[in-house]
Structure 1
């Protein structure tokens, strides 16, 4: 299989040095994997061009007493202490959360809120099967509507889960983090606020003159952390750029891949927002290094019926740049 033929939303790559194999995780698609159910599947390749048919590594239906069985969005796999940890976002519409009150824009958002959050599952193999560590609740606080948890280990060795706090609950979506225990099985303390989506001042700059651009929602999505040689900390994240105004005055826009920089190298920031790396309905990207030490970014495009797109990247200090799209690998588009 090749990337143009592979359904691929929220892609995450593990470059496994031991086997010189790239593992590409995404939500299970029964039409490709041949396995019914909500969960995670993985493609494998040794050259980023030709990929095996996917293998299912996690199914919610196989977990005992799991608090939610829908979603399985944005799977990531990380090695820790010789074991492999899967983060994936589940939700349960039958477990409501409080609806947010009127906000600073004077707009009462009466959108239904329900339990949503990232779970942690563990396996001894990159091919699973993965078993949820705590089936009773998500890893972030269960009263928060969150998604897209990712792992960050700070310079002191403290592991964190960084996640997006849903705009459905906050109106102005945020990025937050919570400390994890050494074995990633639990949390320590309260969440730490990192930044809010509206901090990216460019989000509404394409709105025509005379149209208010300070209108909700502001969306945070798909964080991934990456340390730079100059000691800075990058966070890839995605949002919606507001650039379309409907006849009824509503504002919409395209999905974009952007990033922020903490020059201090500290997860707490301060975070400086940078302009988008890729537009054209693209996002939820992550960085990884190839076996020949090239820095690559993989993301999905378009949002619906997504496919994986690969970009060769360059780091200049803490400035991240796209060198070229690897159309030889992803088929272009």
Structure 2
């Protein structure tokens, strides 16, 4: 049994399973984040979000798999009776992209349902997430990386009903620099604005918002974008102040079995110190705030 503070992952994603009264935690294996070849994607299970069993294998690359490193940011979504993993992968000389895998249970084993990523083959992309609109049309929201475009982009592409193919071309939703709080970074002689980890959330008043990450004066940071149209294609506007600016990010939102809304993110952003954190949220007007009193 492991405590949350003993789990070294980035990009935590929690899938509650009410039928089991159990939470599944997925994430980027901390020790395999940046360098060398990746072994796969793991998960942990817990009944209380404090004590965890695992890690267990969720995905191991099959023979001939196109990527061998940077197995990043797995998300697992229940959709039409199966479980779909959105994860980003890369190989030497091949652009990073988000591929979709499927399994009959959240334990896996997850297997690819397409020949390669859903993102354009000549784009450097990451952090795909599932969004299903009011017409039950599935979309993938993802990031076009700053390392290729300078000013990182958040884009959306329609998916086929079975999630096995992209339909049409990606649509640009916004650039990182549109957020007043976002700051340019300058690592290894490069300069740019980062977009990471988009996650869609609909407020109880029906408004559609997106949580996403970049950098600010507080280090790695979570911000909120919103669309008054209620449609994924926008137009999107950025909140002036971030939701969280404490050198933590790549977040998602979920509800506990007793109905508490939680924000999951990793902190700090330095390898190998990253750990998953779960903090209470509440709706306040037409936004989310971290609930310091919960």
TM-score (normalizing by structure 2): 0.91
Aligned residue for 1:309? Answer: 277
Which structure carries more strand by proportion? 2
RMSD (Å), alpha carbons: 2.1
Structure with greater Cα Rg: 1
1:295 aligns with 2:275: no
1:161 aligns with 2:140: yes
- How far 1:93 sits from its partner (Å)? 2.2
In structure 2, the CA distance between the partners of 1:8 and 1:30, relative to structure 1 (3 Å rule), is closer
In structure 2, the CA distance between the partners of 1:30 and 1:52, relative to structure 1 (3 Å rule), is farther
Please give the per-residue CA displacement for 1:198-257, whole angstroms capped at 9, x wherever unaligned: 10022249x9xxxxxxx941110000001112121111100012x4xxxxxxxxx72111
Instruction: Give the conservation status (yes or no) of the 8 Å contact 1:149–1:164.
Output: yes
Aligned residue for 1:10? Answer: 11
- How far 1:39 sits from its partner (Å)? 1.5
Please give the per-residue CA displacement for 1:101-149, whole angstroms capped at 9, x wherever unaligned: xxxxxxxxxxxxxx101111111111010111123x2111111110000
Superposition pairs for residues 45-64 of structure 1, below 5 Å?
45-60=46-61, 63-64=62-63
* Distance in 1 between residues matched to 2:96 and 2:293, nearest whole Å: 34
* Distance in 2 between residues matched to 1:133 and 1:159, nearest whole Å: 15
Aligned residue for 1:257? Answer: 222
Aligned residue for 2:155? Answer: 176
* Distance in 2 between residues matched to 1:301 and 1:254, nearest whole Å: 10
* Distance in 2 between residues matched to 1:168 and 1:325, nearest whole Å: 39
Instruction: Give the conservation status (yes or no) of the 8 Å contact 1:27–1:39.
Output: no
* Distance in 1 between residues matched to 2:126 and 2:74, nearest whole Å: 11
Aligned residue for 1:80? Answer: 79
TM-score (normalizing by structure 1): 0.80
- Candidates 256, 259, 276, aligned match of 2:242: 276
Instruction: Give the conservation status (yes or no) of the 8 Å contact 1:262–1:272.
Output: yes
Instruction: Give the conservation status (yes or no) of the 8 Å contact 1:227–1:265.
Output: no
1:126 aligns with 2:106: yes
- 3-state SS of the aligned residue for 2:173? strand
1:148 aligns with 2:127: yes
Aligned residue for 2:170? Answer: 191
Aligned residue for 2:292? Answer: 324
Aligned residue for 1:116? Answer: 96
Structure 1, unaligned runs of 5 or more: 96-114, 208-214, 244-252, 327-333
- How far 1:28 sits from its partner (Å)? 3.8
- How far 1:324 sits from its partner (Å)? 2.5
Q: How many residues align?
A: 282
Q: Could you list the structure 1 runs, at least 4 aligned residues long, displaced by more than 6 angstroms after superposition.
A: none
* Distance in 2 between residues matched to 1:10 and 1:64, nearest whole Å: 26
* Distance in 2 between residues matched to 1:29 and 1:129, nearest whole Å: 21
Structure 2, unaligned runs of 5 or more: none
* Distance in 1 between residues matched to 2:293 and 2:276, nearest whole Å: 11
- 3-state SS of the aligned residue for 1:202? coil
Instruction: Give the conservation status (yes or no) of the 8 Å contact 1:231–1:264.
Output: no
Superposition pairs for residues 220-239 of structure 1, below 5 Å?
220-239=195-214
- 3-state SS of the aligned residue for 1:121? strand
